Amino acid sequence: MEFLVQGITQITWQQILMWIIGGILIYLAIAKELEPALLLPMGFGAILVNIPMSGVLNQILPGIGEVHGIIDWLFEVGIESSEMMPLLLFIGIGAMIDFGPLLSNPRLLLFGAAAQFGIFATITVASLLKFPIHDAAAIGIIGAADGPTSILVSQVLKSNYIGPIAVAAYSYMALVPIIQPFAIKICTTEKDRKIKMKYNPKSVSRMTRLLFPIVVTIIAGLVAPASIALVGFLMFGNLIRECGVLRSLSETAQKDLVNLITLLLGITISASMKADVFISLNTLLIMGLGLLAFIFDTMAGALFAKFLNLFLKEKINPMVGAAGISAFPMSSRVIQKMGLEADSQNHLLMHAVGANVSGQIASVIAGGVIIGLVPGLM
């Protein structure tokens, strides 16, 4: 009857710690409603993969040989071999995004680019902490504020830290309403935050909306070919939304596809949350660096807007620059709220939404650029 106690006798303190971490993720998802669609499956998966001789992982059974476990299999097929899951998620994200506010005020595109600085600043800090360049780049991409991009880049670069990176990316995305106000207040004054911006959107024709995803795909593909999978799938989703003849597919992509892939992605990522890999000092460092990346991004966007204000007659509220991160629509809501706190008549929502969707485009371009450049530096 020894087999009945085998599971209990083989348990390690690291595995028990992972159950607690899984429990915390489930608590945050349910009680605090922080990214529940992802943190809940990740939390439950963390428990599943940290049970001794867990059947959800590949096992060598005496007399039988290797037996495949479902979570290891999902990881191999859905993430490791082709990055299928994060890429399919981009179709749904593209279908959800209305680029109208950006197209009606295209100069907001620049803020999306500026806010990606946090990625590279964090890569430098991670390198100073002696992470190899491919791991540093995978950690820095947490600053893309985009979970699927973080997972995809860290997987393509064969980083050892895909689990902590995914946890950091999704946790901090959920904490944007706390992180961004803190970072914005560091680099802006009360006077900056009170700057009002006129909203005079250009009219956007249906043809522009249709051409936009195609043109962006071609430009990004020609200049940064490594970004084409990310940008292409995002823009494909948006074309489904804008074409007007695939309403049913667009709705499916926005709801069912996103829900299904998110659910599978969460539980699949837990394959990288095995105690022997996850429990290390580096995991704590990665959580710290991820937070730094979000702060750097926000400050870079705000400071870039302040820099542009040196040359502009009609000033830009620096908080709009800070919305150039990919966390959509949380970041725009934060900026609208902060604008109203500074002045009850200061409505910044539409400007912030434009910068925010620009951040979505720029973050996938950043992901592709990093995938393209890092192998040459290794």
Partner 1 sequence: MNINVINSLKLMGMGMSAIFLVIIVIYLSVNIMLRLTSEKK
In the complex with partner 1, the residue whose CB is nearer, 118 or 339, is 118
In the complex with partner 1, the residue whose CB is nearer, 134 or 274, is 134
In the complex with partner 1, the residue whose CB is nearer, 29 or 300, is 300
Cα–Cα distance measured from residue 307 to residue 303, given in angstroms and rounded to the nearest whole number: 6
Work out how close the CB of 345 gets to partner 1 at its nearest, in angstroms, rounded to a whole number: 29
Nearest to 145 by CA among 170, 167, 177: 170
The tokens of 286 are what?
Answer: 């990665």
Nearest to 184 by CA among 314, 308, 315, 339: 339
Contact letters for partner 1, residues 89-108 (x by CB under 8 A): --------------x--xx-
Cα–Cα distance measured from residue 151 to residue 155, given in angstroms and rounded to the nearest whole number: 6
Residue 255 · residue 133 · CB < 8 Å? no
In the complex with partner 1, the residue whose CB is nearer, 56 or 153, is 153
Work out how close the CB of 217 gets to partner 1 at its nearest, in angstroms, rounded to a whole number: 10
Residue 287 · residue 164 · CB < 8 Å? yes
Pick out residues in 159-218 that bind partner 1 (CB under 8 A): 202-205, 207-208, 211-212, 215-216
Work out how close the CB of 276 gets to partner 1 at its nearest, in angstroms, rounded to a whole number: 25
The tokens of 90 are what?
Answer: 């981009």
Residue 77 · residue 88 · CB < 8 Å? no
292 contributes a contact to partner 1 by CB under 8 A: no
Q: Which positions ≥6 away from 68 have C-beta within 8 Å?
A: 58
Residue 354 · residue 108 · CB < 8 Å? yes
Helical residues (DSSP H) of 175-317, grouped into ranges: 176-187, 190-193, 206-223, 228-243, 247-252, 258-269, 275-278, 281-309
Work out how close the CB of 369 gets to partner 1 at its nearest, in angstroms, rounded to a whole number: 5
Work out how close the CB of 324 gets to partner 1 at its nearest, in angstroms, rounded to a whole number: 10
350 contributes a contact to partner 1 by CB under 8 A: no
362 contributes a contact to partner 1 by CB under 8 A: yes
Binding residue for partner 1, selected from 121, 151, 349, 350, defined by CB under 8 A: 121
Cα–Cα distance measured from residue 269 to residue 167, given in angstroms and rounded to the nearest whole number: 9
| Residues near partner 1, by CB under 8 A | 103, 106-107, 109-110, 112-113, 116-117, 119-121, 123-124, 126-128, 130-133, 136-137, 202-205, 207-208, 211-212, 215-216, 219-220, 223-224, 227, 358, 361-362, 365-366, 369-370, 373-374, 377
